[in-house]
Amino acid sequence: MIASVLMMSLGLTGPSGGKSTPNAISESVEWLCANADLVVVGQIVSTKDLRGGGKSVGLMSFLVRGKSLGAGSTAGTFGIAVRDVSLEQLDGLRDAQTQIVVFLRRTIQGFVSDGKSYHLWPLRYPGGGHWVVPLASTETPLLSARSGTVITDIGSLDTLCSTFAKPAGAPLYPAPPRAYLPVPADAALVKVLGAQAPKHLIVPAVHFPGAAKTQPVAP
C-alpha cells in the first residue's frame, strides 16, 4: 500500500488517497504542474493555528523557506494556508527539517495575517487530501508520465515544472482539461512501486494528445 504522509482525516494524504488498487489512477507531476500556479520546494519553518479570530474552523498556516520551481524561479519564504490538517504533523515535518514539495493554487479565500499573504493554498486531489509531500519519499511518490519514473530530485522536478507550467494569466477556474495515460508494464515507476503502481496517470490533455479523454473504468 502506498502510505499516506498525513492521513485523510487530518487533511493531507498520498497521491492515491492512501490506497492503491489494481486499477488505481494517480495524478502525474505533469498534471500537477499544469494545474498549479506555483510549485515550491523547501522546509517548513513555522506553523500557526488560525482557528478563532474570525477564521474558519480547521484553518492552519505554515511558512516554507525555499524556492519556487519553473520559469521565474524565486527564493524566499512562502506563506501557505490549509484546512483540516493536524498542526502536530506540520510541526513534525518542521522539526525533522523535511524537504517538502507543495503544489499551490491561487484561491479567492486568501487572506493576510501578520503582514504575510496567504493567497496560495495546496492543490487537492480526488481523495480529498492536499499535495504537500516529502520530495524523495517513495511512500508518496511523484510520478512522471513523460518518463515513466518516480521523481526524487529537484532538478528533474524543476524541468517538468518549466515544461508543463500553467500559462501566465490563466484563470483560477476551471482546471485545464485532463486526460488519462496508461502506465506501461515495463515503466521504471512500476519496477520501483511494484503492485502499488497505478495503471493510469492523469495528464494535461494539451500536452498528451494521444491520451484518453474519458476516465478508464475497471474491467
The region that residue 147 occupies, defined by phi over 0 for left and psi between -120 and 50 for alpha, beta otherwise, is alpha
Alpha carbon distance 123, 108 (integer Å): 14
Of the candidates 90, 58, 33, 73, the one whose C-alpha atom is nearest the C-alpha of residue 208 is 33
Q: How far apart are the first and last CA of the chain?
A: 21
Average pLDDT over residues 179-193: 95
Determine contact, residues 134/152, Cβ cutoff 8 Å. no
Q: What is the pLDDT of residues 51-109, one digit of tens each?
A: 655 555 578 889 999 999 988 889 999 999 888 777 888 899 999 999 999 999 988 88
Determine contact, residues 133/1, Cβ cutoff 8 Å. no
Q: What is the pTM of this model?
A: 0.84
Determine contact, residues 60/53, Cβ cutoff 8 Å. no
Angle at 102 between CA 143 and CA 23, to 5 degrees: 30
Q: What is the percent of the chain where pLDDT is above 90?
A: 52
